Chains A and B, each alone.
Chain A
Amino acid sequence: MSDLRELYQDVILEHSKAPRNYGELAAANHKAEGFNPLCGDHFTVYLDLEGDTIRDIRFEGSGCAISKASASMMTQIVKGKTRAEAEELFGRFHELVTGHAPANGQADSRRPTELGKLAVFSGVSEFPVRVKCATLAWHTLNAALEGKQESVSTE
């Protein structure tokens, strides 16, 4: 049960039940769809990019608690960030959920971007099959930032 509580932390459950920035973004100038074909998870990420800055972001779709909470918290943390900052965050987040984060959670002074609240996803690293759930929204954000028109897939 302790591993489960690590995975399904209250913050994650809360975001999955009441996702933030949920729904279509009318002013979006970038958008991408992401699929996890193995489980049927499907999200659309909408971006309002002003130059290199994410002025606004919303998402919609369906998926498990991990994927939905991850999408919700991602929209919160990247809003107002630059493209480079968002990409840096994804890199850090990916390390966290795959268990490749720096030991002891020590802050790396060379890497200024902080994961902050996203640290609640550290439990995912104990559940390798769920890494794709946690990263689906981020892959989709990447696709939207790169302006790709086609949908992305975790496969």
Chain B
Amino acid sequence: MTATAGKLRSEFRAPQAADVARRESGGYDVEKVRGDFPILREKIHGKPLVYLDNAATTQKPQIVIDRVARYYERENANIHRGVHLLAERATEEYEAARKTAQNFLNAARAEEVIFVRGATEAINLVAQTYGRTHVGAGDEVLITGMEHHSNIVPWQILCEEKRGTLRVAPINDRGELLLDEFEKLLGPRTKVVAVTHVSNALGTINPIRQMIEMAHARNIPVLVDGAQAAPHLKVDVQALDCDFYAFSGHKVYGPTGIGVLYGKSALLEAMPPYQGGGDMISSVTYEKTIYNKLPYKFEAGTPDIAGVIGLGAALEYVKNLGMEKIAAHEDTLLEYATRTISAITDIRLIGTAKEKAGVLSFVLGDIHAHDVGTILDQEGIAIRTGHHCSQPVMQRFGVPATARASFGLYNTREEVDALARGIRKVQEVFA
């Protein structure tokens, strides 16, 4: 342990530390919140679980687990069909979750909320419907240099098919978008802008409101990948005026395999369907099929009903805690983690934007991220190591991989301290 780091740690063990923490967190009771998550009582290699891999997926509160179980125990039936009572119950609960998601995003209308498997499917849906209709030979799709593969590859597939061009707005060494460069890349051939709200590899919060204004000034629609933003920031799609917004339920304390595509109704109305099948039709003959109205036009086949209902419970849960309080807690924690971890010798933070949420990505001297991850795991600390499905970001920073600690609403300063001790243990092993 270095002298500097030791001093830093002892400062935060001072008697007034707890009071400061409470004041800074605005009355947010993290210990009570932790009690809602049964998995946090698990032991990993005999040690308490320190779960710092929230950007990969978040843990589920008991209320979500119970809600999914209750659906299967008391409400299971297929939706939008069948005259029996169970089918009615299931349909009501499914549609109630849509209203919850509408409120979560502050969407103008419930039918602007399309349930999909996750942010990845949401982006593919837009690329394959809106994209295939509007992007032609020589046209351009503009993304940024900090996208997850899921906001790169669907557009590459589209551009390859349509002989269009994928353009990438560059970022600086702190991992911030160069807004001027972004604006310059908005041209007459730009048909879609697809941009992440918060970077999964760097934690950068993009100035998406300004970006959307710039794009709209040229009549270009904007898709926002909100997979990393939805758990950390209050999202208001009407205030942002984005055309599409995608997020995954499992990163917002909900089940895996369910997510949301928000789209402005006028755009969704004009788009062709994504998949054909049951529920997305009004009438079918061999000559002609009339598609169903929104949102069902985009929900072919029996959906993940339990997942949707579980997601509804998760969004209610974060709403009841208060998105602003969650954000304040996480901001304070990220600031503390940045101070604590950057004080460790040989740490290089990857992603030091002024506006950040939830993510602390780093490299530790010459020690490969995988070795860091294995040794931390032995201490019960779960982090992500690797390229985080953002290989171009890794290339931009000249590293093959990073170690990434990412925070959620139940993480604590003590867990950050455990991470710091774990990193020093890694250094001891490799000393």
Interface residues of chain A, those whose CB is within 8 Å of chain B, are 1, 3-4, 7-8, 13, 17, 38-42, 62-66, 68, 127, 129-130, 133
User: In the assembled complex, which residues on chain B have CB atoms less than 8 Å from the CB atom of A42?
Assistant: 400
If A40-B386, A40-B401, A42-B400 touch, whether A65 touches B368 (CB-CB below 8 Å) is: yes
B400 touches A65 (CB 8 A): no
Minimum CB–CB distance from A112 to chain B (whole Å) comes to 34
Taken together as a complex, chains A and B put the C-alpha atoms of A5 and B362 apart, in Å, by 24
- B385 part of interface (Cβ distance < 8 Å): yes
User: In the assembled complex, which residues on chain A have CB atoms less than 8 Å from the CB atom of B429?
Assistant: 4, 8, 13
The A-contacting residues of B in range 353-404, CB under 8 angstroms, are 366-371, 374-375, 378, 385-387, 391, 394, 400-401
In-complex Cβ contact of A4 among B378, B385, B386, B387 (8 A): B378
Taken together as a complex, chains A and B put the C-alpha atoms of A92 and B368 apart, in Å, by 27
If A64-B368, A64-B370 touch, whether A3 touches B401 (CB-CB below 8 Å) is: no
In-complex Cβ contact of A66 among B369, B371, B391 (8 A): B371
A39 touches B378 (CB 8 A): no
Minimum CB–CB distance from A8 to chain B (whole Å) comes to 5
A3 touches B378 (CB 8 A): yes
A40 touches B374 (CB 8 A): no
B378 touches A1 (CB 8 A): yes
- B430 part of interface (Cβ distance < 8 Å): yes
Taken together as a complex, chains A and B put the C-alpha atoms of A30 and B101 apart, in Å, by 57
The 4 closest A-B pairs by CB, nearest first: A64-B368, A64-B370, A40-B400, A40-B401
Minimum CB–CB distance from A3 to chain B (whole Å) comes to 7
B378 touches A63 (CB 8 A): no
If A3-B378, A130-B374 touch, whether A39 touches B367 (CB-CB below 8 Å) is: no
B371 touches A65 (CB 8 A): yes
If A4-B378, A62-B400 touch, whether A40 touches B387 (CB-CB below 8 Å) is: yes
Taken together as a complex, chains A and B put the C-alpha atoms of A41 and B369 apart, in Å, by 11
A7 touches B374 (CB 8 A): yes
In-complex Cβ contact of B401 among A8, A17, A39 (8 A): A39
A and B contact pairs by CB, cutoff 8 A, 11 listed: A3-B378, A4-B375, A7-B374, A8-B429, A17-B366, A39-B369, A39-B385, A39-B400, A129-B374, A130-B374, A133-B370
The A-contacting residues of B in range 97-153, CB under 8 angstroms, are none
B430 touches A40 (CB 8 A): no
Taken together as a complex, chains A and B put the C-alpha atoms of A75 and B185 apart, in Å, by 49
Complex: chain B residue closest to A4, CB-CB: B378
In-complex Cβ contact of B386 among A3, A39, A65 (8 A): A39
B378 touches A65 (CB 8 A): no
Interface residues of chain B, those whose CB is within 8 Å of chain A, are 366-371, 374-375, 378, 385-387, 391, 394, 400-401, 429-430
Taken together as a complex, chains A and B put the C-alpha atoms of A4 and B373 apart, in Å, by 12
A65 touches B375 (CB 8 A): no
Taken together as a complex, chains A and B put the C-alpha atoms of A3 and B377 apart, in Å, by 12
Complex: chain B residue closest to A63, CB-CB: B368
Taken together as a complex, chains A and B put the C-alpha atoms of A7 and B370 apart, in Å, by 13
Complex: chain A residue closest to B430, CB-CB: A13
Taken together as a complex, chains A and B put the C-alpha atoms of A104 and B391 apart, in Å, by 43
Complex: chain B residue closest to A40, CB-CB: B400
If A39-B385, A40-B386, A41-B400 touch, whether A127 touches B391 (CB-CB below 8 Å) is: no
Minimum CB–CB distance from A13 to chain B (whole Å) comes to 7
User: In the assembled complex, which residues on chain B have CB atoms less than 8 Å from the CB atom of A13?
Assistant: 429-430
User: In the assembled complex, which residues on chain B have CB atoms less than 8 Å from the CB atom of A1?
Assistant: 378
Minimum CB–CB distance from A87 to chain B (whole Å) comes to 27
User: In the assembled complex, which residues on chain A have CB atoms less than 8 Å from the CB atom of B387?
Assistant: 39-40
Taken together as a complex, chains A and B put the C-alpha atoms of A39 and B429 apart, in Å, by 21
User: In the assembled complex, which residues on chain B have CB atoms less than 8 Å from the CB atom of A129?
Assistant: 374
Taken together as a complex, chains A and B put the C-alpha atoms of A38 and B56 apart, in Å, by 14
User: In the assembled complex, which residues on chain B have CB atoms less than 8 Å from the CB atom of A130?
Assistant: 370, 374
In-complex Cβ contact of B391 among A40, A41, A62 (8 A): A40
Q: Which of A1, A4, A7, A42 has the largest number of chain B CB atoms within 10 A?
A: A4
Taken together as a complex, chains A and B put the C-alpha atoms of A40 and B374 apart, in Å, by 16
User: In the assembled complex, which residues on chain A have CB atoms less than 8 Å from the CB atom of B391?
Assistant: 40
Taken together as a complex, chains A and B put the C-alpha atoms of A68 and B367 apart, in Å, by 11
A40 touches B378 (CB 8 A): no
User: In the assembled complex, which residues on chain B have CB atoms less than 8 Å from the CB atom of A17?
Assistant: 366
User: In the assembled complex, which residues on chain A have CB atoms less than 8 Å from the CB atom of B369?
Assistant: 39, 64
Taken together as a complex, chains A and B put the C-alpha atoms of A123 and B391 apart, in Å, by 30
Minimum CB–CB distance from A100 to chain B (whole Å) comes to 21
Taken together as a complex, chains A and B put the C-alpha atoms of A130 and B378 apart, in Å, by 13
Known: A38-B386, A65-B367, A66-B370. 8 other contacts (CB 8 A): A4-B378, A7-B374, A13-B430, A39-B387, A41-B400, A64-B370, A65-B430, A133-B370
Minimum CB–CB distance from B91 to chain A (whole Å) comes to 41
Taken together as a complex, chains A and B put the C-alpha atoms of A66 and B373 apart, in Å, by 13
Taken together as a complex, chains A and B put the C-alpha atoms of A7 and B426 apart, in Å, by 13
User: In the assembled complex, which residues on chain A have CB atoms less than 8 Å from the CB atom of B367?
Assistant: 65
User: In the assembled complex, which residues on chain B have CB atoms less than 8 Å from the CB atom of A66?
Assistant: 370-371
Minimum CB–CB distance from A118 to chain B (whole Å) comes to 19
Taken together as a complex, chains A and B put the C-alpha atoms of A130 and B369 apart, in Å, by 13
User: In the assembled complex, which residues on chain A have CB atoms less than 8 Å from the CB atom of B366?
Assistant: 17
Taken together as a complex, chains A and B put the C-alpha atoms of A38 and B368 apart, in Å, by 13
User: In the assembled complex, which residues on chain A have CB atoms less than 8 Å from the CB atom of B378?
Assistant: 1, 3-4
Taken together as a complex, chains A and B put the C-alpha atoms of A39 and B386 apart, in Å, by 5
Minimum CB–CB distance from A38 to chain B (whole Å) comes to 6
